[in-house]
Amino acid sequence: MPSPVALPGISKIVAIGSGKGGVGKTTVAVNLAIALSKLGQRVGLVDADLYGPNVPLMMGSSESPRMDGNERIIPNETYGVKTISVGYLSPGDKPLVWRGPMLHQVIRQFLQDVNWGELDYLLIDLPPGTGDVVISLVQTVPLTGAVIVSTPSDVALQDARKALEMFAQVNVEVLGIVENMSHFTCPHCHQEIDIFSRGGAERTAHRFNVPFLGSVELIPAIREGGDSGKPVALAGPEDPQAAEFYAMAERLMKNANAAAATTSGVIEII
């Protein structure tokens, strides 16, 4: 197995995953990326979901990236966040089915052949499941850690636990679990409705002894922000619908700093 090699100029690499699709990984990834950027961090975001690349739509970014003078890809930049995605390639330039070696090659290219410049955080929006992309990632670069997104429903949590086991198996520290679509507040009667149940992700975090990053409500504005390419986090930390993403970004920074401190200690020993 090839040894992972740190990317020069990039301080921390954090993967965002789940067991399941549709639980809000990309939504959390883009809003965390924007929140980190507004909190003064230099941020990049890799769309590692080759079959369902949603980062371009959610980040309002669609240009085909150009090459710099050294044949390195220049990432797109919107809202202060640099992004790369297979969604930026024209349909003729990408296959419909990614064979294992091609998939590995694309992930490697997105990390090593992109001119990211200096970054405090490179976030990786993972595809659903516990598969090949994570293996490619951990073979290519040392990860600071991972964030797991889940809804509080038992089926989603069952898959989130698989993701926890997978990260443990590949020695990636889980920096936090996010409970997404935690509950819905009826705009008419203001009653809180637990559509996917509630609190399960936090309980899972405690049970497996990993940090809990926070819960995000099911809010139409979050879906609209994604669909329109203007994620809610753009409204800033004072906005009630965006505030939780900023609180989660602060907790993530704290946990990532602690993890980076231990990881660099390990590297020194080696």
Ligand X SMILES: Nc1ncnc2c1ncn2[C@@H]1O[C@H](COP(=O)(O)OP(=O)(O)O)[C@@H](O)[C@H]1O
For residues 29-58, which are near Mg ion according to CB under 5 A?
54
Contact stretch for ligand X (CB under 6 A) within 21-29, 115-123, 235-243, 259-267: 21-29
Contact stretch for ligand X (CB under 6 A) within 18-26, 85-93, 111-119, 205-213: 18-26
Find the shortest distance in angstroms from Cβ 185 to ligand X.
11
Query: Where do we find the tokens 């990636």?
Result: 172
Using CB under 6 A as the binding rule, whether residue 23 contacts ligand X is answered as yes
Both structure tokens of 105: 């090659």
- In the bound state with Mg ion, the residue whose beta carbon lies nearer, of 41 and 54, is 54
Distance CA 5, CA 238 (A): 39
The site partner of 226 among Mg ion, ligand X, none (C-beta below 5 to 8 Å per kind) is ligand X
Q: Which residue from 13, 15, 19, 24 is in contact with ligand X, where contact means CB under 6 A? A: 24
Using CB under 5 A as the binding rule, whether residue 130 contacts Mg ion is answered as no
Q: Which residue from 223, 254, 262, 264 is in contact with ligand X, where contact means CB under 6 A? A: 223
Interior angle at CA 19, CA 18 and CA 22, nearest 5: 70
Residues forming beta bridges with residue 225, ordered by sequence position: none
Using CB under 6 A as the binding rule, whether residue 35 contacts ligand X is answered as no
The rounded Cα 38 to chain-centroid distance in angstroms is 17
**Please, what is the angle between helix 25-38 and helix 220-227, to 10°?**
80
Buried-state track 236-256, b at ≥16 Cβ within 10 A, e below 16: ebeeebbbbbbebbbbbbebb
C-beta atoms surrounding 18 within 10 Å: 28
Q: Which residue from 9, 22, 95, 199 is in contact with ligand X, where contact means CB under 6 A? A: 22
Both structure tokens of 146: 């991972």
Q: Is 7 helix (H, G, I), strand (E, B) or coil?
A: coil
Using CB under 6 A as the binding rule, whether residue 31 contacts ligand X is answered as no
Using CB under 5 A as the binding rule, whether residue 26 contacts Mg ion is answered as yes
Using CB under 6 A as the binding rule, whether residue 218 contacts ligand X is answered as yes
Q: Please give the single-letter amino acid code of residue 234.
A: L
Q: Which residue from 25, 38, 82, 183 is in contact with Mg ion, where contact means CB under 5 A? A: 25
The site partner of 147 among ligand X, Mg ion, none (C-beta below 5 to 8 Å per kind) is none
Distance CA 191, CA 233 (A): 25
Count Cβ atoms within 10 A of the Cβ of residue 194 and give its class: 0-12 exposed, 13-18 middle, 19 or more buried: middle
Using CB under 5 A as the binding rule, whether residue 20 contacts Mg ion is answered as no
Question: Where on the chain is the footprint of ligand X (CB under 6 A)?
Answer: 18, 21-27, 54, 180-181, 216, 218-219, 222-223, 226
- Site residues (vs Mg ion, CB under 5 A): 25-26, 54
